[in-house]
Amino acid sequence: MKIRIEAGILLALGTTLFLWASAFAGIRAGLTGYSPGQLALLRFLVASLALAIYAIASHMTLPEKRDLPGIALTGLLGISGYNLALNYGETGVGAGEASFMVNIGPIFTALLAMAFLGEQLRGWGWLGIAISFLGVSLIAFSKDSGFSFNPAALLVLLAALFQSLYFVLQKPYLKRYRPVEFTTYAIWAGTLGLLVFAPGLPGEIVTAPPGATFAVIYLGIFPAALAYVTWAYVMARFPAARAASFLYLVPGLATVIAWLWLAEVPGWSAMVGGGLALCGVIVVNKNYAKKL
**Chain segment 15-62, per-residue pLDDT in tens:** 999 999 999 999 999 999 999 999 999 999 999 999 999 999 999 999
Residue 289 has what pLDDT?
47
pLDDT tens-place string over residues 138-177? 766 655 545 555 577 788 889 988 988 998 899 899 999 9
Q: What is residue 58's DSSP assignment?
A: T
| Range of lowest pLDDT (60-64, 96-100, 137-141) | 137-141
In the three-class reduction of DSSP (H, G, I as helix; E, B as strand; rest coil), residue 120 is classed as coil
Residue 3 has what pLDDT?
45
Give the pLDDT mean for 66-87. 96
- Report whether 175 contacts 118 (CB < 8 A): no
Q: For residue 185, which of 95, 11, 65, 278 has the smallest C-alpha distance?
A: 65
CA distance 121 to 136: 20
Q: How much is the CA Rg of the chain, to the nearest whole Å?
A: 18
Residue 5 has what pLDDT?
58
**Residue 252 neighbours by CB under 8 Å, 6+ apart:** 270, 274, 275, 277, 278
pLDDT band at residue 276, thresholds of 50, 70 and 90? Answer: confident
Helices (H) and strands (E) in the chain, counts: 15, 0
Q: For residue 43, which of 208, 220, 209, 184 has the smallest C-alpha distance?
A: 220
CA distance 82 to 76: 8
Domain assignments of the chain as residue spans, ordered by start = 7-291
- Report whether 134 contacts 60 (CB < 8 A): no
Largest pairwise CA distance in the chain: 58
Q: For residue 171, which of 69, 74, 286, 285 has the smallest C-alpha distance?
A: 74
Residue 58 C-alpha from the chain's centroid: 26
- Report whether 153 contacts 101 (CB < 8 A): yes
